[in-house]
Structure 1
Amino acid sequence: MEQNERLKIEDVLAEKGYYAGPTVGVSMLPMLKNRRDTIIIRPKTERLQPLDVALYKREDAYILHRVLKQTERGYIIRGDNCYADENVPEDSVIGVLTEFFRKGKHVTCTDKKYLRYVKRRLKWYKPRRFFVRIKGKCKNAVKKFLYLFKRK
């Protein structure tokens, strides 16, 4: 099937009332692993709430990220494995994650264990970001040191 003949997720949502498919990318790690886990998306019927996972369209790509807060015209959204927030307009959001299959195990987005994970993930965002930056600086310093050492 050619690129322009592919079904759009919006069309599948309108026809079936849900979309089921694999995840692609690393922005929602560790919750969803690239091409291993299956997501179930339902059409957005009301304004999303913080902690919901929104499917939105940016140019020609579909993005699945978590809603951090509502704004007047949309949402502040970020992937679980990302460090940059995005402003996403309300009309760009086409669906919401309602459930998923992780390592073959079914998880609903209302499950207490899942909600604990989400809250813990958000709580540790700033310390995690700090340590990721330190790790990056250490890696760069080691690379520079090894490069200088090799030159001699």
Structure 2
Amino acid sequence: MFWVKLRKEIGANNSLRVKIFILIFRLTSYSFHSDRTKILYLAINLFYKLTCFLFKIDILARTEIGWGLRIFHPFCICIHPDVKIGARCILRHGVTLGNAGEGSDTVPSVGDDVEFGCYATVIGDVRIPDGTKVRALSLTTATRRPS
């Protein structure tokens, strides 16, 4: 089942760079979550870190991303490792999903079929519902409720 989903996800992306990144991300993520000895993970992770460096993508292997990920222009994408992203998400260059800075441990959660425009930034305890389109150059933060 893993290989069928991987093949479908890779086929849905056009760029060779994205295909390579997704292949290595999924293999590294799979080995992180399933390899109890972490020997396979350590070997693959070195190659994954190099790929992330070359493509300027900051997504750790422990990040949970649903199947069907599509990436357009794979540059300067930064996702906090605790962010959970649903299935069939679309990312464009410059997307940032993370916490609100030092001392903050809350991160966004992203539903299924969410599309992020170029340089969209979502920080803090924000829930992006299924089917949402986060527009380019937008900033979405958590609002504080009055005490």
* TM-score class normalised by the smaller sequence: under 0.3
TM-score, normalisation: structure 2: 0.27
Structure 1-normalised TM-score? 0.26
Higher RCO (C-alpha 8 Å, min separation 6): 1
